[in-house]
Structure 1
Amino acid sequence: MNQTERYESAKELYRGLGIDTDQVIRRLKEIPVSLHCWQGDDVKGFDQDGPLTGGIQATGNYPGRARTPEELMEDMEMAMSLMPGKKKLNLHASYAVFENGEYADRDQLEPKHFAKWVEFAKKHHMGIDFNPTFFSHAKVKDGLTLTSPDKETREFWIRHGKACIRISEYFAKETGIPCVMNIWIGDGFKDVPADRLGPRLRYRESIEAILAEPYDPKLVKPCVESKVFGIGVESYTAGSAEFALSFAATHQGVLPLMDNGHYHPTEMVSDKIPALLCFFPEIALHVTRPVRWDSDHVVLFDDETREIAKEIVRNNALNRVYIALDYFDASINRISAWTVGFRSFQKALLSALLTPAELLKGLQDENRMSELMMLQEEIKLYPLGDVWNEYCRQCGVEGGQGWFEKVKAYEQDVLSKRK
């Protein structure tokens, strides 16, 4: 049986569940997933040459890391050529591109420092999401930024956040697609603090000062992202889940952003999604794969990834949830890491779209729990792979593992020559 015959057979099986696979494929092609630039260079960025700070750590030293904006863009293009589906570009402020010897500190960044990224995004018909970079900088004082008791330090980082608001609006105007601007800090303490309230009050005031910068809420979608802990800040982080959620709930137009690595191991973001959708018009996600902690492993087609996609789809929230990926593995080929993670989430979305949500909800509402369990288990063996291969074919990429041969060739021809 060839690929076309396999797809037609799968199509008939899913039709028995009330699922139109042709319609599913058309819908999946229009769901944007934001691809993070920082997988390609281990979160180094281009505005400083020091180590990572702020509770962030990239492990590994696989050859071929992108060292310049040109190399990073080249690598992203290679990875994107292997990914089906619609993409956005996700940038950190530390990826500003300076030319002709120019340099601007983070509080002086301007839209012109990201013109090359806008050019890149337009070339690939992508919108751009943005993140102020509150880490890996000399102005991080005693590990603190927006929560620092030092007013000068806070004001520097507030100016940085305001600059990022202006840059985010520039991105949205240039691409015609709203920019999700995510505020995340790693501020915290290694050991038990004497004051838990003070840093959080300063953090609240700092974010409010940033958001006082004028912007069009139709173009800029500000978010606040929480964190449970980080390396060097194991005992306390100012931007906890309770803080971030409460700030978003009490400040109009601010979205809560959940990273599924930023919670305790027994907490599931998939369960939190429908809870937040009860109260927020829009929410945002950073999808990663935590291994015992927020280790930013490459996203796989695993249980929680599937559940996250399922909750978005079955609650008709594809237009309410901004989806972005966030991981950085320096121990393996970075092109492969990008590709596996993106394709894995695409598979999760496809699996969710192929699930007969209304049928299953009906069984639950009628308390037909035995039948519900049976059907949920039987659906797991339906021929998802045959629909995936057809989706990839229509998107012009390899459905099976053949794409990895292109990664190996790129490593041999390009990455291996970087010193």
Structure 2
Amino acid sequence: MLNQVNIGLFITGGIASYKMGELARQLIKKGANVRVVMSESAQKFIPPLTLQTLTKHSVLTDTFDEHDPASIQHINIADWLDVALVAPATANIIGKMANGISDDAVSSTLMAVNNLRVIVPAMNTKMFDNPATQANISRLESFGYVVMEPDEGFLAEGYSGKGRMPSVEDIVEMVEYQYMRHNSPQWLEGQKVVVTAGGTVERIDPVRYISNDSSGQMGYAMARAASFYGADVTLISTKRDLKVPHNITAVYVDSAVEMQQKLNKYFSDTNYVVMAAAVSDYRVLNRSDQKIKKEAGSDNSLQLDLAVNPDILATLGKEKKNQVLIGFAAETENLSEYASGKLRKKNANWIIANDVSNKGIGFNSTHNEVLVIGADGTYEEISMRSKLNVSLKIWRIILDPNHTTN
């Protein structure tokens, strides 16, 4: 998402400054070009040489330290960047930005920025809660700045409170989300999207169950991509261990019946439903409330009576009015034939099919390649790439009448 994106990292003098080397490194790993501007106070916590070594760019620390007569450094950086990331943002720099003060390298450069600005406050909880700080944050938001909510946790002062800098992982995800929202067509703005993810769990007893190999990653990727294109996304998931993407509401279920109940709750008020979950075909007819014991002297066999689970996709296909229904088909053979048949039988608008017999894609893989079949006659293959990039391409095929295959 950040490949070849120019990010200006503005570091000010909070204790969390020591984490900025790792933040710069993670942004670079995402493909971003990073240049750093530091306040004098920030240099007390982390030396400019560390950031210069990591970014392969000189670090701007003095507004008047000019080396190239053909350009003014702080204006050059402001013009160069696509995203200004202020982290950690102290109460001091927040106050300067909110009130138009530019008296050092950081504040002067930021004064000249007119692209996306993401502010990551990090300070003592009392400083964060101070009415002046809160008023300044509100003012920045009214100017169009994106202000990230700080975490609650153990502070440098030795007690817990709100004001702790979010994790590097969360900051990178926020930058990706904001960049995509600001630079992608907002086809789904004002639209409600429900995505299901993960393999359903059908209990045999309190310690055993029937399920499948679905990791849930494709559903989470489809949800995240929809949010990039502006959607209000609800994720119905069986995977409580996966990190919920930024700005997405997660609802957790276990069984197919529970998943259907949640979908029934949301369906009438939804514009798009993405059935990426791998729903078990069967459930145990008479599940035990206690752990089933192996009987001594028996032949150790156990017979389970199974009942057919509801066909959620087919049911939604019958009930849909104006909703767009997107189903997934995990097949091991005859991919095109079976997926086309599923599209007709389920009365879906789209079927996304992949070959799960290929160990390099699909279940428990970070990558996928799929076949997109539409009721409108669309038939397109998406070559192997990350599941997020596959998802972005799927949504583009569905939403953009002028898309091109690549």
- What TM-score range do you get, normalising by the shorter chain? 0.3 to 0.5
- Which of the pair is proportionally richer in helix? 1
Taking structure 1 as the reference length, the TM-score comes to 0.32
Work out which structure has the larger RCO, using CA pairs closer than 8 Å and 6 or more positions apart in sequence. Answer: 1
